[in-house]
Amino acid sequence: MSEPELNLTPTRPYLARAIYEWICDNNLTPYLLVDATQPYTDVPQQFVQDGQIVLNLAPHSVHMLNMSNDAITFSARFSGASKDLYIPMNAVLGLYARENGQGLFFDPDEYANVQIEEDALKSNKSDETEITTDAPKKKSSLRILE
């Protein structure tokens, strides 16, 4: 008797958020490798080479970074002009540290059997998990009250 096929969500968005946090916690520079040929991918085309682009996601380099299960969105400056970027998760090929190359590179076929709807890609961002990069992290501390 065969087991019913599970309809699991892809691991890519969860792993991308985790590796981004790990890279930033270690004071390294997160680089995002993107397949710029995927539908709905909005990146500055003048910097695309061989269908791919590498983007610097360092907290001081981007504004309003949002890593949801469907896409990564943020704004950044390119040649002095601000641009809003939209990268669907199926276009994310890897996330790694510039300084040592450590990170994760994803299976390009992970989304081959996942139904991606246009509405999901451009959905309302109110239910998305947001990683803000505007405020510096504060170190936690304990204080004994008497």
Q: What is the pLDDT of residues 33-43, one digit of tens each?
A: 999 999 999 99
pLDDT value for 2: 59
CB distance 137 to 116 below 8 Å:
no
Domain range 9-99, CATH class? mainly beta
Pairing of strands 81-88, 62-67: unpaired
CA distance 82 to 91: 22
25: part of which helix (H) or strand (E)?
A: helix 12-25
Name beta bridge partners: 142.
none
pLDDT value for 105: 95
Q: What is the pLDDT of residues 85-137, one digit of tens each?
A: 999 999 999 999 999 999 999 988 888 877 665 555 555 333 444 444 444 45
Buried b (16+ CB within 10 A) or exposed e, 6-40: eeeebebbeebbebbebbbeeebbbbbbbbbebee
Pairing of strands 81-88, 92-97: unpaired
CA distance 8 to 54: 29
pLDDT value for 9: 85
